[in-house]
Amino acid sequence: MIKPGSTWYAADLERYSSEYRVKLLSAHKEILNFRVESWPHLLMVSEDGFEKGPCTIGLKSELFNEFHERARSATRIWFNNQAIRFFVGNNDYSINWCEGERLSFAPFKIDNLKHNNVCTTVEHYCQALEGIDLNTPSAVLLGMTGGSEYFREKINYYYPKIINALLLRNEHQLINSCRNIIGMGYGSSPSGDDLICGALLSFHHFTADQSFLDNISAELKAETGKTNLMGGHMIEIGLLGLTPYFFQALLVSIIKGRFEPALLTRTFKVGASTGSDLLIALVLFIKSYLAST
């Protein structure tokens, strides 16, 4: 039985043209996470009002609720270039995932920065974070409390080295520094992985140097065996430059010199600490980037 399709889908999913076996990894109120055979990242299906991002298919609420129920009871799930198919006993249920609006999460190159405006806006975001319990070890990078001391020490030492390695195109330093914080933190995606993702996404937008990332991609991916599947997913989308909409919105806000408090609220809703980690990664990368240009 074929049901109506998506309201939107991530354009990056179009590169998969074969049929793949799918396994439900985790089910939440507004999003389902799937592991797909041979894919380097996860597949996600979300309720339409959930934050939009790469590797994701958005469904209207009623259809998502039905999808949610069937996915949890399915004995087999398959993904192909048009549909997701569920088998519950002898019953076959399909959703056309590519029917909705096509959304691209590809990076855009940032040029002609007005340094003073950008610096001022970055400081506004940093100041707005002061006094907030971020509950993440990455808060140490802003001189704030949060997270276990062991994770804080590692992140405080190695994350600045990751930024420095990216800006200097130092492959050895980058891999070694990432190796030391991959898997660090708690939650679905550890803070160390979120920070690496944020640094890679920032590098994509401010330098567009894909060749450097191609050179280190295989070696960095080899290190993701030290973390969980969601952490590996975050590092993979970072390498590809696939940028969630809230992160794009933060970038636009900063480069236009326009502090937007509402974006902080939106950011804090992303994961337990993923939104906060990515924001911290972004502002620190921008500070170092501006100091180097």
Q: In sequence order, what DSSP letters do the residues of 183-204 get, joined into one string?
A: T-SSSSS-HHHHHHHHHHHHHH
For residue 88, name the pLDDT band (cuts at 50, 70, 90).
confident
- For residue 86, give the 3-state DSSP assignment: strand
Average pLDDT of the residues in 2-29: 93
- Virtual CA dihedral for 246, 271, 276, 56, nearest 10 degrees? -30
**Which conformational region is residue 50 in: left (phi greater than 0), alpha (psi within -120 to 50 degrees), or beta?**
beta
pLDDT tens digits, 146-193 = 999 999 999 999 999 999 999 999 999 999 999 999 999 988 899 999
Where along the chain do its domains lie?
Answer: 2-103, 115-292
Helix (H, G, I), strand (E, B) or coil at 99: coil
* pLDDT digit string, tens, across residues 26-59: 999 999 999 999 999 999 999 999 999 999 999 9
Kindly report which listed range (2-16, 153-167, 220-234, 277-291) carries the lowest average pLDDT score.
2-16
Return d(Cα 255, Cα 258) in angstroms, integer.
Answer: 8
Say if residue 280's pLDDT is above 90.
yes
How many residues are present in the chain?
293
What does the pLDDT look like over 118-136, one tens digit per residue? 999 999 999 999 878 888 9
pLDDT over 70 at 282, yes or no: yes
- Given this model, what pLDDT does residue 90 score? 82
The pair of structure tokens assigned to 163 is 């930024």
pLDDT tops 90 at residue 1: no
Which tens digit of pLDDT belongs to each residue from 184-209? 998 889 999 999 999 999 999 999 89
Contacts with 85 (C-beta within 8 Å, 6 or more apart), sequence order: 77, 78, 79, 92, 93, 94
Q: What is the pLDDT of residue 119?
A: 95
Quick check: 119 and 26 in contact, CB under 8 A? no
Q: Region 206-217: what's the mean pLDDT?
A: 94
Distances (CA, A) of 195 to 130, 137, 181, 286, 290: 19, 11, 9, 13, 19
Task: Determine the Cα–Cα distance for residues 221 and 81; give it in Å rounded to an integer.
Answer: 25
Segments of the chain assigned E as strands: 2-3, 8-10, 20-27, 31-36, 43-47, 56-59, 76-79, 83-88, 91-96, 101-103
Q: How many other CB atoms are found less than 10 A from the CB of residue 154?
A: 18
Q: Kindly report the pTM of this predicted structure.
A: 0.96
* The pLDDT of residue 117: 93
% residues pLDDT > 90 (the chain): 87
Rounded alpha-carbon distances, angstroms, from residue 46 to 88, 108, 133, 139, 192: 21, 25, 28, 29, 25
Question: Among all chains, which residue has been given the structure tokens 């997913």?
Answer: 233
Q: In the structure, what pLDDT confidence band is assigned to residue 284 with cuts at 50, 70 and 90?
A: very high
Task: Check residue 132 and give its pLDDT.
Answer: 87
pLDDT of residue 264: 93
> Can you give the pLDDT at residue 2?
56
Residue 4 clears pLDDT 80, i.e. is over it: no
Q: What is the pLDDT of residue 104?
A: 97
